[in-house]
Amino acid sequence: MDIQITKDFKSVFILGLLMSFVVMTSCTDLTENVNNEVTADNFFQTDEEFISALGDAYSPLTSYGGNFAVTAVNEVTSDEIVVAQKGADWEDGGIWIRLHRHTFRPSDDIINNTWNEFFSGVANANRLIFQFQRVIESGNVSEEDANAFIAELRALRAFYYYQLLDNFGNVPIVTSFEQDPAETAQPSDNFQEGRQAVFEFVESELLDVLELVDTDVSGTIGRVNKWVVHMTLAKLYLNAEVYTGESHWDEVVTHTNAIIDSGNYNLMANYADNFTVDNTGSPEHIFTIPFDEVFLQGFNLHVMTNHILSQPAFDFGTQPWNGFQTVTDFYGSYIDSEQNPGPQGDVVGLDPEGSTVTGTLDERLDNFLVGPLLDQEGNQIEDDGVLPSDPNGPPITHTPYINELAPDSWRQAGARIAKYEMEVGLSGSNMNNDMVIYRYSDVLLMKAEALWRMNPNDPTALMLVNQVRERANVDPFSSLDADKLLAERGREMFYEVVRRQDLVRFEGDTEETQFNDPWWEKDSSDPYRNVFPIPQNQLEANPNLVQNPGY
């Protein structure tokens, strides 16, 4: 049986996502009653039926595209993204202010959503593994064919647990669809030992399936294959010292080398091409979520970040929400000049007309939308006094400078997130771009960091970083240090849900911003904030859960 799918993924695998068996809304109880027995007699007779079933395990990944779960909690708690309160807009009970200032609470819904999405993936994978094992036992499906899918599900489940390890630390490990959560769904009483156990589980699962999952890149678009497993292992080892107190730099090199040596991936000549509307199949993509405005909805970045009056700029069919902005200092990290953020009307890195970047032009400045907002005919868009909190009046001009976090941030303030191409004429609130989870340039930077940590003068480390910088049209570094590595990762990996993790990992290594340092509109925070609290809803539903220290 051919288990591969090709680049028409958006007509096969996405349909599988739509045919999910169960939509999980809470995952404190990680078991589920099977009301309709799935057997080899009534399902799993064709490739499409297997792939359709797999979609249920992948469906929680769609949460990455919205503003209610993993992407938001990781980006807004970093120095990259801020959601300023604009009068009555985006107050939302103060959650965005708490995320930015690291005063988030166990009762915050967005943290509970993140927990639920990842444990939904765990629960769905457990159920599907159980069902696939049952059809093997029936004798009507070959063990070889079903085991390939089971290996893929175990790898995906390990990916979810890697994310839970990173975000929450000490979490329950549940691998059986039939086990009693009252007895098993509990973390260790000791926080550090518990996190060690989760690390070891993820490591063991990924190593076990490494040679069992598919190796074909073209046949597994949007799915876990061998190279996704190598990447997750490399990520796990890159952050091992944070998770367990022990470094694993050699292992980072081993698994990044496996990806590099495979010859399956290379840097795109143009950075921005990785994020276009039609970006499926980029040679730089290792793992993506293949969003589609009809078949796989949930990627809402264009409405999350753009000004509410920006519809004419892109001929959008719906009004954007004017929420997510870039922290001014982070935007400035792309610009090699002495210019600093100024008062209203000043645009960091742009000339008075807002058209020319001063200093070195980093092509990754395409990540942002700044300057006057123009409609499709090139006319400036004006607010006509509708938004009085924008003091410079018409026309609407996005300035990297943000006047305040709350309560009256200017609605035009802040560079907007333009990393993913805004599709002109998009009718609704869902984008068609594939959203990147793993990308090849990250492989190069991860290997460089591991080599540098073992030998600060390693020439290969410097070469790899400069390879990424060359593609961005910026001058090469002559040497590396922690500040350069962290800053380069920030510029390259902006809005790819890695910045919070990077800031935590570089804690104590750099003179620049670290996760618990003060930054714009944020005071110093305590190290226990390096992980999120176990959500209050989960603690109340399962008394075996133990809250993370400090909360």
The predicted-structure confidence for 438-468, as pLDDT tens digits, reads as follows 999 999 999 999 999 999 999 999 999 999 9
Q: What is the predicted pLDDT for the residue at 13?
A: 52
Q: What is the predicted pLDDT for the residue at 5?
A: 34
Q: Among candidates 411, 479, 405, 425, which has minimal Cα distance to 293?
A: 425
- How far apart are the C-alpha atoms of 529 and 235, rounded to whole Å? 20
Residue 44 — very low, low, confident or very high, per pLDDT cuts 50/70/90? low
**Residue 517 within any structural domain of the chain:** no
Q: Among candidates 169, 263, 165, which has minimal Cα distance to 205?
A: 165
Residue 1 — very low, low, confident or very high, per pLDDT cuts 50/70/90? very low
Residue 510 — very low, low, confident or very high, per pLDDT cuts 50/70/90? confident
Q: What is the predicted pLDDT for the residue at 466?
A: 98
**Residue 196 within any structural domain of the chain:** yes
| Mean pLDDT of all residues in 257-262 | 98
Residue 6 — very low, low, confident or very high, per pLDDT cuts 50/70/90? very low
**Residue 522 within any structural domain of the chain:** no
**Residue 313 within any structural domain of the chain:** no
Is residue 128 predicted with pLDDT exceeding 90?
yes
Of residues 401 and 7, the one with the higher pLDDT is 401
Q: Map residue 300 onto helix, strand or coil.
A: coil
Give the least confident one: 218-227, 371-380, 397-406. Answer: 218-227
**Residue 546 within any structural domain of the chain:** no
- How far apart are the C-alpha atoms of 224 and 214, rounded to whole Å? 8
Residue 513 — very low, low, confident or very high, per pLDDT cuts 50/70/90? confident
Identify residue 179 by its one-letter amino acid code. Answer: Q
Q: Sign of torsion, CA 162 168 173 179?
A: negative
Would you say 67 and 389 are in contact if contact means Cβ atoms under 8 Å apart? Answer: no
Q: What is the predicted pLDDT for the residue at 146?
A: 83
Name 333's Cβ contacts closer than 8 Å, sequence gap at least 6. Answer: 487, 490, 491
Domain that holds residue 72: 9-94+104-290
Round the average pLDDT of the chain to a whole number and report it.
86
The label of the residue with tokens 């080892």 reads: 237
Partners of residue 336 on adjacent β-strands: 360
Give the least confident one: 15-24, 303-312, 367-376, 429-438. Answer: 15-24
Is residue 255 predicted with pLDDT exceeding 90?
yes
Would you say 85 and 70 are in contact if contact means Cβ atoms under 8 Å apart? Answer: no
Identify residue 224 by its one-letter amino acid code. Answer: V
- How far apart are the C-alpha atoms of 98 and 76, rounded to whole Å? 9
Show the DSSP H helices in 169-239 as ranges. 181-184, 191-209, 226-238
pTM beyond 0.85: the answer is yes
Identify residue 176 by its one-letter amino acid code. Answer: S
> Cα–chain-centroid distance for residue 485?
20
Q: Among candidates 203, 57, 167, which has minimal Cα distance to 123?
A: 57
Total number of domains constituting the chain: 1
Would you say 513 and 503 are in contact if contact means Cβ atoms under 8 Å apart? Answer: yes
**Residue 145 within any structural domain of the chain:** yes
Put residue 511 in one of left, alpha, beta given phi > 0 → left and psi -120 to 50 → alpha.
Answer: alpha
**Residue 204 within any structural domain of the chain:** yes
Q: Among candidates 43, 52, 44, 46, which has minimal Cα distance to 14?
A: 52
Q: Map residue 338 onto helix, strand or coil.
A: coil
Name 190's Cβ contacts closer than 8 Å, sequence gap at least 6. Answer: none
**Residue 458 within any structural domain of the chain:** no
Partners of residue 82 on adjacent β-strands: 325
Kindly state the tokens that stand for 438: 């793993």
pLDDT, tens digit, 9 for 90 and up, residues 51-84: 778 889 999 999 999 999 999 999 999 999 999 9
Residue 135 — very low, low, confident or very high, per pLDDT cuts 50/70/90? confident
Q: Map residue 198 onto helix, strand or coil.
A: helix
CATH code at position 30: 1.25.40.390
